[in-house]
Amino acid sequence: MSDTNSDAGADGPLGGLFDGLSRRSSDLLLVFGALFAIYALFTIFVFGQGINSVVSTLRFLTFLILVYGMLALALNLHWGYTGLFNIGVAGFMAVGVYTMAMLSGDPAGSPPGLGLPVPIGIIGGMVAAALVGLVAALPALRLKADYLAIVTLGLSEIIRLTYNSEAFNQWIQGATSTITSRVGFLPDGGAGTGAGSGIQVPSPAGPVRTLFFEGGRAGNPTPLGDAVFAVTDPIGIQQNVVVEWAYVLVLAVVLLGFYWLLSRIGNSPFGRVLKSIREDELVASSLGKHVEIFKVKVFMLGCALMGLAGILWQGSFGFVSPNDFMPVVTFYIFVAVIIGGSGSNTGSIIGSILFVGLLFEGPRRALGALGNRVDFGRAPNSFGDAVAPILSGDITPFFAYAVANRSALVFVLLGTVLIIIIQTRPDGALGGRNEPAAAVDLSTRPEKQPTTATDGGENQ
Amino acid sequence: MSDASDETHIDEAVETASTSQGGTATVEPESRDSEVERAAASTPRTVPLSVDNLRKTFGGITAVDGVSFTVESGTVTGLIGPNGAGKSTTFNLIAGALEPNSGTVTFNGEDITGRRPDEIANKGMVRTFQIARELPEMTVLENLMLAPKHQLGEDLWRSVVPGARSTVVEQEAELRERVWEMLEFFEIDHIAEQEAGTLSGGQRKLLEMARALMTDPDLLLLDEPMAGVNPTLEEKILDRIHDLRVNEGLTFLLVEHDMDVIMENCEHVIVMHQGKVLAEGEPEAIKNNDQVIDAYLGEDI
How many C-beta atoms lie closer than 10 Å to residue B149's C-beta?
Answer: 24
Strands B276-281 and B268-273: antiparallel
A204-209: long-range pairs with CB below 8 Å, 24+: A204/A118, A204/A122, A204/A311, A204/A312, A204/A315, A204/A316, A205/A244, A205/A247, A205/A316, A206/A118, A207/A118, A208/A243, A208/A246, A208/A247, A208/A250, A209/A243, A209/A247
| B142 closest CB neighbour out of A289, A343, A437 | A437
ipTM of the complex: 0.84
Work out how many domains chain A is built from and give that number: 1
pLDDT band of A397, cuts 50, 70, 90 = confident
The Cα–Cα gap between A208 and A218 comes to 13
Question: Widest CA span of chain A, in angstroms?
Answer: 78
**C-alpha closest to that of A456 among A444, A448, A446:** A444
Strands B125-127 and B219-223: parallel
- Note whether B191 contacts A3, CB cutoff 8 Å: yes
The Cα–Cα gap between B29 and B246 comes to 9
| B138 closest CB neighbour out of A10, A279, A444 | A279
Distance from CA of B130 to the nearest CA of A (A): 12
The Cα–Cα gap between A456 and A460 comes to 9
> For testing the chain A interface, which of B129, B180, B219 should be mutated: the one with the most A CBs within 10 Å?
B180
Whether residue A103 lies inside any domain: the answer is yes
Using alpha carbons, list the distances in angstroms from residue A431 to A81, A341, B121, B291.
Answer: 11, 4, 32, 57
| B180 closest CB neighbour out of A291, A438, A446 | A446
The Cα–Cα gap between A367 and A402 comes to 7
Whether residue A248 lies inside any domain: the answer is yes
- Which residues in chain B are contacts of A445 at CB distance < 8 A? 180, 189
Task: Give bridge partners of residue B77 from the DSSP assignment.
Answer: B253, B268
Name the residue in chain B with its Cα closest to that of A297: B156
The Cα–Cα gap between B238 and A188 comes to 76
| B160 closest CB neighbour out of A265, A445, A459 | A265
> For testing the chain A interface, which of B139, B175, B219 should be mutated: the one with the most A CBs within 10 Å?
B139
- Which residues in chain B are contacts of A276 at CB distance < 8 A? 135, 138, 146
pLDDT band of A12, cuts 50, 70, 90 = low
Name the residue in chain B with its Cα closest to that of A452: B190
Q: What is the pLDDT along chain B (301 residues), one digit of tens a residue?
A: 344 444 444 444 444 444 444 444 444 444 444 554 444 444 444 789 999 999 999 998 999 999 999 999 999 999 988 888 899 899 999 999 999 999 999 999 999 998 999 999 999 999 999 888 999 999 999 999 999 998 999 999 999 999 899 999 999 999 999 999 999 999 999 999 999 999 988 899 999 999 999 999 999 999 988 887 888 888 988 999 999 999 999 999 999 877 788 888 999 999 999 899 999 999 888 888 888 888 776 554 4
Task: Give bridge partners of residue B221 from the DSSP assignment.
Answer: B127, B253
- Note whether A286 contacts B127, CB cutoff 8 Å: yes
CA torsion A252→A254→A258→A261, rounded to 10°?
120
Distance from CA of B92 to the nearest CA of A (A): 11
- Note whether A456 contacts B193, CB cutoff 8 Å: yes
- Which residues in chain A are contacts of B144 at CB distance < 8 A? none
- Which one-letter amino acid corresponds to residue A264? R
- Note whether B135 contacts A275, CB cutoff 8 Å: yes
Residue A146 backbone class (left: φ over 0; alpha: ψ -120 to 50; beta: rest): alpha
Percent of residues, chain A, with pLDDT higher than 90: 60
Whether residue A114 lies inside any domain: the answer is yes
Give me the pLDDT at residue A396, please: 86
CB of B37 less than 8 A from some CB of A: no
Task: Give bridge partners of residue B106 from the DSSP assignment.
Answer: B50, B111
Residues 6+ apart with CB under 8 A from B116: A285, A290, B96
Answer yes or no: are the C-beta atoms of A330 and A87 closer than 8 Å: yes
pLDDT above 90 for A394: no
Q: In this structure, what DSSP letter does residue B80 have?
A: E
- Note whether A287 contacts B184, CB cutoff 8 Å: no
CB of B154 less than 8 A from some CB of A: yes
**C-alpha closest to that of B141 among B99, B176, B98, B92:** B176
Strands B102-107 and B110-111: antiparallel
Phi and psi at residue A377, to the nearest 5°: 85, -165
Whether residue A50 lies inside any domain: the answer is no
The Cα–Cα gap between A413 and A359 comes to 7
- Which one-letter amino acid corresponds to residue A366? A
How many C-beta atoms lie closer than 10 Å to residue A158's C-beta?
Answer: 13
Give me the pLDDT at residue A432, please: 67
Whether residue A298 lies inside any domain: the answer is yes
CB of B156 less than 8 A from some CB of A: yes
Distance from CA of A261 to the nearest CA of B (A): 7
- Note whether B121 contacts A288, CB cutoff 8 Å: yes
Whether residue A15 lies inside any domain: the answer is no
- Which residues in chain B are contacts of A449 at CB distance < 8 A? 184
Give me the pLDDT at residue A19, please: 65
- If one compares A307 and A136, the residue with the highest pLDDT of the two is A307
Cβ under 8 Å to A: B residues 96-135: 97, 116-118, 121-122, 126-127, 129, 133, 135
- Note whether A283 contacts B179, CB cutoff 8 Å: no
Phi and psi at residue B73, to the nearest 5°: -65, 140
CA atoms within 13 A on the CB side of A189: 17
- Note whether A459 contacts B193, CB cutoff 8 Å: yes
Give me the pLDDT at residue B9, please: 44
Of chain A, the end-to-end C-alpha distance in Å amounts to: 18
Whether residue A382 lies inside any domain: the answer is no
Cβ under 8 Å to A: B residues 189-248: 189-195, 211-212, 215
The Cα–Cα gap between A69 and A313 comes to 11
**Which range of residues forms the domain containing residue A210?**
55-325
Task: Report how many Cβ contacts below 8 Å link chain A to chain B.
Answer: 155
Give me the pLDDT at residue B16, please: 40
Whether residue A134 lies inside any domain: the answer is yes
pLDDT per residue over A59-80, tens digit each? 999 999 999 999 999 999 999 9
- Note whether A270 contacts B159, CB cutoff 8 Å: yes
- Note whether B146 contacts A287, CB cutoff 8 Å: yes
- If one compares B15 and A129, the residue with the highest pLDDT of the two is A129
CA atoms within 13 A on the CB side of A195: 9
Give me the pLDDT at residue A398, please: 86
Burial class (CB in 10 A: 0-12, 13-18, 19+), A409: middle
- Which residues in chain B are contacts of A436 at CB distance < 8 A? 138-139, 141-142
Average pLDDT on A140-164 reads 87
- Note whether B118 contacts A443, CB cutoff 8 Å: no
> For testing the chain B interface, which of A279, A299, A430, A433 should be mutated: the one with the most B CBs within 10 Å?
A279
pLDDT per residue over A294-342, tens digit each? 999 999 999 999 999 999 999 999 999 999 999 999 999 999 999 998 8
Phi and psi at residue A77, to the nearest 5°: -65, -45
Burial class (CB in 10 A: 0-12, 13-18, 19+), A247: buried
Give me the pLDDT at residue A356, please: 95
Give me the pLDDT at residue B39, please: 47
